[in-house]
Copies of this chain bind each other. A is one copy, B any other.
Amino acid sequence: MAASSSTAFLLKNPSNTSNVSSFKNPTFHSHNGYFFTPKRSNKPISITCSTQVQNPSTTTLPNSQSQDRVFNFAAGPATLPEKVLKKAESELYNWRNCGMSVMEMSHRGKDFVSIIEKAESDLRSLLNISSDYSVLFLQGGATTQFAAIPLNLCKPNDSVDYLVTGSWGDKAFKEAQKFCNPNVIWSGKSEKYTKIPSFDLLEQNPDAKYLHICANETIHGVEFKKYPTPKNKDGILIADMSSNFCSKPVDVSKFGIIYAGAQKNVGPSGVTIVIIRKDLIGNAQEITPVMLDYKIHAENNSLYNTPPCYGIYMCGLVFEDLLEQGGLEEVEKKNLKKAGILYDAIDESGGFYRCPVDKSVRSLMNVPFTLEKSELEAEFVKEATKEKMVQLKGHRSVGGMRASIYNAMPLAGVEKLVAFMKEFQARHA
């Protein structure tokens, strides 16, 4: 998965440009001021690191805008496709000549209904979601679902299992304690959430109504590559996919519920998507707030009360873009390539950079890493920011760095980061 860039190391472009006159091939000169010295090959290597144009296919972008764009490695809200933002910009004031913004539309009017219906239809196409499942567009983030799931699926004494591979799985477990009888069947906490256990070794409760996982832990960078099967033959698998939703194909039929905050891969914050098998709907506890009752939302096609209309519209634009890219198989290929380049750069740094996560479960979306010389981490983040690569600081609970490289992060962004990492290492090794 290593890109060509990982076979080179970089020297910062000296301010005196005469120093580089020995470079004969102009492709050695990248857009962002780095020069490359081939390490293992004599073949000239070109790295297209650029803050100018993130999506070269969007030829209509005015240069003045794209030149100002940074590479945003934030964990969420996160970078969105430039093409989608440009479309949203062009339609903000007057959506398709209807005379108003999407933000002003009645959620029960035909225009908005066409928007939400297309968003749902495109999401169903992307994930191949069968008619056995409802797709809901809700509010309140995954954190609201931490309560809604046990409230909808359990009686107060029911047992449920949580496989805790990071902070979010732990939060989901703790919230469930209010509404049922959850058990942590495995926790990676003692190993600082760097692993996922062998499923054979899990001691699942045979009566557990469901088995809950967080498919990708945003803070710790741990991602399930395959999924466990509930031991209880009537048990269901539930996954919080907030930070890897729509980043790769998923066999939805293996899950009872998949849920995700939109603000990583598919839209702005304020929209939560819940994909739920229809037979699981309709058994909420009496103390369930109406807004947490899946039955209400399913029966009303997510229009029981006013939904987050503009966020749903933005998600729809992203779904359209993902389909245009060729669907989630193609998206996964791009994500594998980006993550491969970055993990290679870390692993080939001779220990200068370290990623603590077990290689077999490293996230394609969130790449946490530390510096051997931890005193340099603040400087790393500061210099990267100057180079227009922002939000690289790790989550406050774990420190270090984290590069979130969701669907909308262009390959050029990861290449630029890798080039910077090598140059930084060369200066500080």
A residues near B (Cβ < 8 Å) are 65, 68-70, 72, 74-80, 85-86, 88-89, 92-94, 97-101, 103-107, 109, 139-144, 146-148, 151, 175, 178-179, 261, 263, 267-271, 286-292, 304-311, 314, 388, 390-391
Contacts and interface: CB of A to CB of B under 8 A. Distances in A.
A306 B68 CA distance: 26
12 contacts: A65-B93, A68-B97, A70-B99, A70-B100, A74-B109, A85-B103, A140-B140, A141-B305, A175-B290, A261-B306, A263-B306, A268-B308
Nearest to A312: B270
A269 B308 contact: yes
Contact of A310 (B70, B72, B99, B269): B269
Nearest to A142: B305
A89 B90 CA distance: 8
Contact of A106 (B74, B267, B290): B74
A79 B106 CA distance: 9
B306 A103 contact: no
A178 B103 contact: no
A405 to B, nearest CB: 14
B147 A270 contact: no
Given A141-B306, A175-B290, A289-B292, A100 B69 contact: yes
A291 B92 CA distance: 30
Contacts of A290: 143, 146-147, 175
Nearest to A107: B77
A96 to B, nearest CB: 10
A88 B99 contact: no
A289 B80 contact: no
A387 to B, nearest CB: 12
Contacts of A75: 106
Given A100-B79, A104-B77, A141 B141 contact: no
B270 A310 contact: yes
Nearest to A101: B85
Contacts of A178: 286-289
A132 B148 CA distance: 32
A304 B269 CA distance: 13
Given A94-B65, A101-B85, A311 B308 contact: yes
A86 B93 contact: yes
A338 to B, nearest CB: 17
Nearest to A73: B106
Nearest to A174: B290
B308 A76 contact: no
Given A68-B94, A139-B139, A144-B140, A76 B306 contact: yes
Nearest to A263: B306
A245 to B, nearest CB: 14
Contacts of A140: 139-140, 144, 291
Contacts of A109: 74, 391
A92 B92 CA distance: 9
Contacts of A268: 103-104, 308-310
B289 A147 contact: yes
Which 10 residue pairs of A and B lie closest in terms of their CB atoms, listed nearest first? Answer: A270-B308, A70-B99, A147-B289, A103-B268, A139-B139, A74-B106, A269-B306, A89-B92, A143-B305, A270-B270
Given A74-B104, A179-B287, A287-B178, A99 B390 contact: yes
